[in-house]
Amino acid sequence: MSVIAQKATVFRARASRHGCLVVCQATERPVASRRAVLGVALLPALVYAPKALALIPDEDDEDLVEKAKANRRARLAQQRGVTREFMTAENLKDARLEQELVSVQKAVYKLSKSGSQLESGDLKAAASTLSESWVAEFTAVASTISGTDAAGKLSSAIQDVKAAAAAGDSASSKRQFTSLVSDLQSWASATGLAGSLRGL
């Protein structure tokens, strides 16, 4: 056998042994189960899941839900105020914003009128003013602007003043009116309307 043939035989033998070693090692390597692979793949999700879930308010926690709603209304009110300021600065008009402002401004005028009537002692006239259609119109617009809770509170305050005036209770009607004006001022500030209203 030639030297070349001998070397070739040696190479084949070595390759055969190495190949067997590789194959043997490959077959001896433990195969990972699907459950183990899945566990490793889901590990990051399990680690970060509590943090992600903590950002989502529990629907059963009424306080958190109400707080989230209040924050959203505040953001919307702020956005509405910024939009109104921009429209005014650019001498532009938005029909919806203008209609909202008109309805609220009308309510301010009517409340001012009823306040003057209470001050003069004309309780019957004050009760009549607080019974007009502007109350329902204002409540509807207020619901659109800030939600039914805030609008309902203002509507209830108006009804309290009207009831006291209709009953002829001057002291109570004036006290209720003062509280109503305070609530309206707070609401106007929170919704970004305060700077656009006259007489409030």
In a domain? residue 41: no
Same structural domain, 8 and 93: no
Which one-letter amino acid corresponds to residue 141? V
Shared domain for 133 and 187, answered yes or no, is: yes
Residue at 50 is within a domain: no
- Could you tell me if 102 and 20 lie in one domain? no
145 contacts 77 by C-beta, under 8 angstroms: yes
Residues 149 and 103 in one domain: yes
Q: Does residue 143 share a domain with residue 85?
A: yes
Position 196 scores a pLDDT of 83
Q: In total, how many domains does the chain have? A: 2
Assess if residue 7 is contained within a domain.
Answer: yes
Provide the CATH number for the domain around residue 149: 1.20.120
The answer as to whether 35 is a domain residue is no
Q: Is residue 14 part of a domain?
A: yes
- Give the pLDDT confidence score for residue 6 in this predicted structure: 52
Phi, psi at 108, each rounded to 5° = -60, -45
Q: Summarize pLDDT for 65-107 with one digit per residue, the tens.
A: 777 776 776 676 666 666 656 555 655 455 566 777 889 999 9
Residue-range definition of the domain harbouring residue 116:
62-196
Classify residue 83: in a domain, yes or no: yes
Q: In the block, which residue shows the tokens 């602007």?
A: 145
**Residue 115: is its pLDDT beyond 80?**
yes
